[in-house]
Structure 1
């Protein structure tokens, strides 16, 4: 037969056992949230209308080449800038002065559209540029 003095100690022992067994689960739970801060994650979106967000990230950049304005990626040439969204495709266009693709920039279009429209416009632009050169020689 149990006495009244053993009941509180039994209850205390039961509570201690439950706490001991739940500690790993609590540790796992809180560790999940602690790990979120340490993982690489996408950059947060800039506050609407706040230029200081962009300026701070641009100044903090250690890019020795070209810093892409939309993604803040560091690339060798503007035409190498990645598109900001995975469902987009990068379509390069030439530099207006040199005519080289690697010196130009890029448009981002939906994957389904492809670069056909950009390439067609690029061809028309190049034809107009050559026509302008010929017209300027005649003046």
Structure 2
């Protein structure tokens, strides 16, 4: 009887030790779960952009700023329409400029003033 109890105690001890060791290695090597990593800054070169530009399929005109596929370059959307206004400078030429002021059309008004040399 005594040896049976001793054997059970040894077996129980081995189970606990192996369970503890397994938990240690599981935590150490990720245990099949994806670990949370800090976000990484994008590279300081243009490789990521060029790879996406080269991979983009467009049969018309691929906008360099937004990678949108449009029929004509002046149809390119602004990258940040909430904070930018699109302004056509002349036939086929358009720019995106930061929204200026609280009134609609303020950016266009300022660009027109700059064209006239008044701003």
Q: TM-score, normalised by structure 1?
A: 0.46
Q: Cα RMSD (Å) of the superposition?
A: 4.3
Task: Give the CA deviation at 1:14.
Answer: 2.8
Deviations 1:97-122 (A, max 9, x none): 25xxxx62312448xx4565412124
- 5+ unaligned residues in a row in structure 2: which ranges? none
Asked if structure 2 preserves the Cα contact closer than 8 Å seen for 1:73 and 1:81, the reply is no
Matching residue within 8, 11, 15 for 2:10 = 8
C-alpha deviation, 1:18, in angstroms: 5.8
Matches within 5 A, 1:1-139: 3=3, 4-15=6-17, 30-33=32-35, 45-47=42-44, 50-64=45-59, 65-69=61-65, 72-76=66-70, 77-78=75-76, 80-83=77-80, 89-97=83-91, 104-109=94-99, 113=101, 116-124=105-113, 128=116
Q: 1:92 Cα shift?
A: 0.9
Distance 1:2 1:91 in 2: 87
Contact 2:88/2:94 (8 A) holds in 1: yes
Instruction: State the shift of 1:11 in Å.
Output: 1.0
Quick check: 2:84–2:99 contact (8 Å CA) kept in 1? yes
Can you give the 5+ residue segments of structure 1 that lack an aligned partner in the other structure? 37-43, 129-139
After TM superposition, what 4+ stretches of structure 1 lie above 6 angstroms from structure 2?
none
Whether the 8 Å contact between 1:75 and 1:81 is mirrored in structure 2 is no
Say which structure is richer in helix: 1
